[in-house]
Amino acid sequence: MKCFKNATVYVGGEGLKKCTVCFDEKIEKISRCKVDGAEEIVLPEGAIVLPGFVDQHIHGAGGSDGMDGTVEDISIIAKTVAAEGTTSFLVTTMTQSPENITKAMQAVKAYQEANSEEGARVVGIHLEGPFIAAAHKGAQPLEYVKQPDIEAFDKYNQASGNAIRIVTLAPEIEGADEFIRHLASQGIVASIGHTGAKYPDIVKAVAAGASNVTHTYNAQTALHHREIGTVGSAMMLDELNCELIADTIHVSVPAMQLLIKNKPDDKVTLITDAMRAKGIPDGVSELGGQTVYVKNGEARLADGTLAGSVLRMNRALQNTVEKVGVPFTKAVDFATINPAKNLKIDDEVGSINVGKRADFTVINSAYDVLMTVRGGKIVYQA
């Protein structure tokens, strides 16, 4: 058994407190007392032990992308994101040919079956497209956009070993309501995104079972005083969990403040939406067969369209606290327990409580990640 002895720990339901956390693969004990026989992990002064971050929307990192469709590339992503404190993530795909999407599904299945203990844990797939609106495709290739198709989806899910956890779709497209009901019946999160949906479309989608908004504000209809669009609906409807790219590039600080002010505390989720260029030097990169230019923390296509991010989750947390003004533990919830609840894995991860997986990220006062622990094993150390 290992322990963080007399450390500052964010304990679920109790807040930040000085305590000793003992763990093997799962958290065994949280107490004020020394536990005999436990191997102490020594932390520097000022370190804070947080739950491991959960990133439900990330395409790539370390030069690899989920659409590369290999176990090796998924492994590179998993190891790269562990360095930013992420312990669980969804391999996120994008609008592409059926062959390429299927290849990506099969790679995730193979990776999960291999039970790798290195890096962050893959907890499933976020299928971002191809069932989106052409006019709001963002950095998704137009030629592969298609209408909601239950049969096509079922084939993808079967190829993945039923690993799909979120599907981004445009609810205004014909057939979307039936598709959303199909997803909801299987416990899969239907997420509204890359869409021209108006308020009545969103209301119908929520009634059918939609429960998430993909990268809120980006690639969707904006708030207007005569039609509140997807953005206004995201703020209006408490049923919707809202993803947020907190890099201050995709969304301005006042826009983040407006969203957070209008959402229940448990309905905001920080994501990175990162692409393969995260964790490597600026330069020319790629997303879905399209050339991407990365400079000064921004990833854009040749026409200037934002093409994902190179955001790290620890910096998303820092921005949310220091620039947006969200209280520290509330911002931590945005990156941990909120996505865990959204994915229905909060019985295992998302907070530091006895019986949950021993998934931790240890940061300092500058939000640098000092250590990442997944299932009781140190998978990253600065």
Active site residue ranges: 273
Calpha distance 213→66 (Å, rounded): 21
Beta partners for 190?
Answer: 167
Torsion, Cα of 161, 162, 165, 168 (10° steps): 100
Residue 241, classified by CB atoms within 10 Å of its CB into exposed (0-12), middle (13-18) or buried (19+), is buried
Token couple for 280: 């490597």
Residues near 344 by beta carbon (within 8 Å), at least 6 away in sequence: 187
Residues near 99 by beta carbon (within 8 Å), at least 6 away in sequence: none
Q: Look up residue 360 and give its amino acid.
A: F
* Distance, C-alpha 367 to centroid of its chain: 18
Reduced to 3 states (helix: H, G, I; strand: E, B; else coil), residue 338 is: helix
Phi, psi of 314 (to 5 degrees): -65, -30
Please state the length of the chain.
Answer: 382
Residue at token pair 């199909």: 182
Phi, psi of 104 (to 5 degrees): -65, -40
What distances in angstroms separate CA 186 from CA 54, 129, 165, 204, one per listed residue?
22, 18, 9, 19
Calpha distance 18→182 (Å, rounded): 46
Calpha distance 128→66 (Å, rounded): 11
What distances in angstroms separate CA 321 from CA 126, 230, 324, one per listed residue?
27, 26, 6
Reduced to 3 states (helix: H, G, I; strand: E, B; else coil), residue 39 is: strand
Calpha distance 86→335 (Å, rounded): 9
What distances in angstroms separate CA 65 from CA 27, 107, 121, 154, 166, one per listed residue?
32, 11, 16, 23, 18
